[in-house]
Amino acid sequence: MVERIERLEEEEKGLKDDKRDVYSEAKAVGYDAKIIRKIIRIRKMKPDDRREEEMLLDTYKCALGID
């Protein structure tokens, strides 16, 4: 069990390194990593949850005089 967990942790570290490299590549060609992360988070959301969040964000922005 311990060896399996250690192996999985090592694989996880490798995947994190790969992910960091992809973000670096994106940045090198002009993309903003923060925006890419936000897009990925949005894409993971259910459509109804995404719409609800967008409506709430718009409501808060309007109430605060943003936009």
33 neighbors 26 (Cβ within 8 angstroms): yes
pLDDT at 10: 98
Q: Is the dihedral of CA 56, 57, 62, 65 positive or negative?
A: positive
Angstrom distance (rounded) from CA 20 to CA 38:
15
Give the global pTM.
0.76
pLDDT band at 67 (very low <50, low <70, confident <90, very high): confident
Q: For 1-23, what is the mean pLDDT? A: 98
pLDDT digits (tens, 9 = 90+) for 13-61: 999 999 999 999 999 999 999 999 999 999 999 999 999 999 999 999 9
Residues of the domain holding 9? 2-63
Number of structural domains found in the chain: 1
For the chain, list the strands marked E by DSSP.
Answer: none
Six-digit token string for 50: 């995404």
Angstrom distance (rounded) from CA 25 to CA 20:
9
